[in-house]
Amino acid sequence: MNIRPRRNRKSEAVRRMVEETKVTTDDFIFPLFLLEGANDKIEVDSMPGIYRLGLEKILKEIEVCLKLGINAFDVFPVVPEHYKDKAATKSFDPNFFYQKALKRIKSEFPEAAIMTDVALDPYNSDGHDGLVKNGEILNDETLEVLGKMALAQAEIGIDIIGPSDMMDGRVAYIREVLDDNGFTNVSIMSYTAKYASAFYGPFRDALDSAPKKGDKKTYQMNPANQREALIEADLDIEEGADFLMVKPALAYLDVIKLLKDNYAQPIAAYNVSGEYAMLKAAGMKGWLDYDRTMMETLLSIKRAGADVILTYHAKEFALLTKGK
């Protein structure tokens, strides 16, 4: 035999030499959940090892993560029910605890890349990503609120705006609002192909942001559809998106590859809460080697074409690979 592929697998040194895909902490954005109480810390029951943190605790967490090589963070607010209303007015209030906390984070860690979410569900008493009237999710009326949110976050100094709402035309609307107000350097990471997935359950537990009535199938994508992601991607690029995201990641590796093969923009993938919880549960039961399965999962997302991975595994990965 002239060709023996096993020769390139004969030792750890040779295997590492020819390794096609490498995951590093540079690939990650670490999602964090912010509580109003500055020193509060509450574990998310359905996400073992992940906590909702008050500002002082989040500042310490970011400091630790930066030392581990994690340089980007997506901060989500846990909004108490009494602040929520049908117009999501706290979403753009500069005096709200979330906006004030973001300002402190950027002040203390200017070197960190901070991403924020733009959607109404954390602030909306209906629990939907858009305004609701007579059971209908209003598209065009929602854009104005999304623009106000994005502007409020840009004024704080946020690096990346992440519209996750899936309203039609929102990237163009946000881009115009940002540019008209002088924030041409603020990036937009669009949730391009965000599917109406069953894997979001633990995240909604963390934020208490599930819809009060109905579901999100009229604006999030049908899990059965792949080519539709190309339509969304074409629109996002035309409207000014800097990154294209696929969410969830693990169950949609084909969509990640589809976008990677067709677009020059960086592709992000959100390794979502349900994907994290599955590995945690199986690891805690002893059914899987958690560390190895986590590493393989992140590798598969990167191999499929993701340039950026939003993942709750980020800190564990960093601790596991530190010094290697």
Question: Which residues contribute to the annotated binding site?
Answer: 232
Residue pair 69/25 in contact by the 8 Å Cβ criterion: yes
Residues at the binding site for Mg(2+) are 232
Residue pair 174/117 in contact by the 8 Å Cβ criterion: no
Residue that has been written with the tokens 């629109």 in this structure: 235
As a whole number of angstroms, the distance between CA 205 and CA 197 comes to 15
Candidate list 247, 260, 280, 315, residue with the active-site label: 247
β 131-133/136-138 pair status: antiparallel
Q: Does the annotation mark 285 as catalytic?
A: no
Q: Does the annotation mark 60 as catalytic?
A: no
Residue pair 259/267 in contact by the 8 Å Cβ criterion: yes
**Token code pair at residue 114:** 């901070």
Where is 294: in which H helix or E strand?
helix 290-304
Task: Return the C-alpha torsion angle 267, 270, 271, 277, nearest 10.
Answer: 180
At residue 192, φ and ψ (nearest 5 deg) are: -70, -55
> HSE-up of 273 (CA within 13 Å, CB side)?
21
Candidate list 90, 194, 216, 280, residue with the active-site label: 194
Q: What is the largest CA-CA distance in the chain?
A: 72
**Token code pair at residue 238:** 């035309």
As a whole number of angstroms, the distance between CA 137 and CA 25 comes to 38
Question: Pick from 279, 278, 277, 269: which is nearest to 305 by CA?
Answer: 269
Is the Cα torsion angle 162, 165, 55, 284 positive or negative in sign? negative
Residue that has been written with the tokens 């008050």 in this structure: 54
β 28-34/113-118 pair status: unpaired
Catalytic residues: 194, 247
